[in-house]
Amino acid sequence: MKNIKKIIILSKEEEDLIYLQNAKNIIKYFYKTSKKRVKMQEKYMKEALKEAKKAYEKKEVPVGCVIVKDDKIIARAHNLKESKNDTTKHAEIIAIQKASKKLNSWRLLDCEMYVTLEPCSMCAGAIINSRIKKIYIRKLRRKNRSMWFST
């Protein structure tokens, strides 16, 4: 007798109510998750802005970059073009080099980049070749917008 399960017969209204309750729970879950994700994105962009401030203090073009994998910052950089007298010392290139060294791979799969200014064509090529999954850009350039967008 203990193994007999109780059978419940629900009316159509009760089934709909349960369905709606489950849908509400799913929406709440996604809302909480997306809200948490947005907070993390803001946190990483603030870190990129800190890097840009470092560049500004060194009289460089104020661009900062952060690379994230599994919700951890694996590389951060800012422009060093003027202080190193090297045209390739852009924040994105330096960050990609640091991330590649840390992961011991040139493929930065499942990594996200947060950058304070839209990358130039050199950096865009490096980002594409490094296989970075997503890029978050704080400010778009007025020139060369066709690089990323076809408008």
Q: What is the torsion angle, in degrees rounded to the nearest 10, for the CA atoms of residue 56, residue 58, residue 60 and residue 62?
A: -20
Q: What is the dihedral of CA 105, 69, 141, 80, to 10 degrees?
A: -60
Task: For residue 47, count CB atoms less than 10 angstroms from its CB and return exposed for 0-12, middle for 13-18, buried for 19 or more.
Answer: middle
Residue from 51, 60, 92, 112 carrying the catalytic annotation:
92
Tokens read off for 39:
């907070």
Catalytic site residue 92? Answer: yes
- Residues involved in catalysis: 92
